[in-house]
């Protein structure tokens, strides 16, 4: 059942190739877990689960589901493997780059 709160514009179903890539990442034992979680989000949305249901099943916030759905719609599979700049631990002052 699709989420009536998601507009047709926001909904992006993965192509057969994208879905195969996402499923391979989920099954692989060497894929980073953050990529696996992001892939599961997209696959569950592709299976027409609501964002709320995906968040509940994966134990993440609805905001996280929306974030990765939006990035996937804009950039495809590669977006799920990258973190945006500004994330992570900041360098200490005086520490070389």
Global confidence as pTM: 0.76
Of 6-15, 55-64, 76-85, least confident by mean pLDDT is 6-15
Whether 72 contacts 42, CB under 8 Å: yes
Q: What pLDDT score was predicted for residue 88?
A: 66
* 68 burial via Cβ count (<10 Å: 0-12, 13-18, 19+): buried
* 12 burial via Cβ count (<10 Å: 0-12, 13-18, 19+): middle
Tell whether the model's pLDDT for residue 46 goes beyond 80.
Answer: yes
């Amino acid at each position: 059942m699709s989420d009536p709160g998601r507009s047709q514009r926001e909904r992006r179903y993965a192509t057969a190739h994208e879905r195969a890539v996402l499923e391979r990442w989920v099954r692989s034992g060497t894929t980073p877990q953050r990529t696996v979680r992001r892939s599961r989000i997209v696959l569950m949305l592709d299976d027409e689960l609501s964002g709320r249901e995906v968040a509940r099943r994966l134990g993440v916030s609805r905001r996280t589901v929306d974030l990765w759905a939006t990035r996937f719609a804009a950039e495809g599979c590669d977006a799920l493997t990258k973190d945006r700049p500004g994330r992570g631990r900041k360098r200490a002052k005086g520490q070389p780059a």
